[in-house]
Amino acid sequence: MTKVRPSITNVQANVEMNRHRWGDAEEWSRRDALGYQWDGGVVQRPANIAWLADRFLREHTNNRYNLKILELACGAGRFSVELMRYAKEIDFLDMNQACLTICRSRFQQIPIKQRYYCNDGLSCDMLESLDYDLIASFDSLVHVHPDIVHGYVRQLADRIVPGGILWLDHSGKGMREQGHRTDMTLEKMAEFAQGVGLEIVKQTFRNDHDCISVLRRPVTPNA
């Protein structure tokens, strides 16, 4: 029987793993090439991320380029570059200060308002805004325990404006050791969304295991 790592199945172990694995600025540079290289092999180019954003995100921006955006678990900013195309201002939230430091350095010359928040891997209490048009997360929640994902959906549902979008990339077919995928599914995400009154706009697999769920706050509250 194959052993499953506690960092996949246990909330606190999952938090500690994500803090340890993604919390070193030198590792982001030397080992991960700011997220474009994993385990020593070059996996993606910036063009790959641009294609993904065009394919899965653009249709949900309503042709707007003045969005107030929060990026959840921003990492070293690989997807941030795409989000900034649509932003009039953008906030970054990550549990690792190293990630925020990297992003601040990368984007300090970009002439849009930016704010940076470090959390404990669970809470969003430190966020100041309640009027995001878009909250997005790419290639980070795939490593996050379902209970933590549920907590984020619950906390963030009231931080988007009516008609606003939660765009969340997550493990879609359950736990898998390869790639450290936790026991999230598209069905669980749908349940989390419905539990806080969010509409499920679309759920799409971007590969054989990872799903992008697009959730919207209703313009008129559900009866």
pLDDT in tens, 206-218: 999 999 999 999 9
Q: What is the pLDDT of residues 139-182, one digit of tens each?
A: 999 999 999 999 999 999 999 999 999 999 999 999 998 888 99
Residue type for 198, please? L
> What is the rounded distance in angstroms from the CA atom of residue 146 to the CA atom of residue 151?
9
Q: Which of 198, 200, 203, 205 is nearest to 219 (CA)?
A: 198
Classify each residue of 93-131 as buried b or exposed e, where b means 16 or more C-beta atoms within 10 Å of its C-beta: bbbbebbbbbbeeebeeeeeebebbbbebbebeebeeee
Confidence check: pLDDT of 1 > 70: no
Strands 132-137 and 67-72: parallel
Confidence check: pLDDT of 26 > 80: yes
Q: Count of residues for the chain?
A: 223
Question: How large a percentage of the chain has pLDDT more than 90?
Answer: 84
Confidence check: pLDDT of 2 > 60: no
| Residue range 6-216 in CATH 3.40.50.150 | yes
SS3 29: helix
Res 223: pLDDT: 41
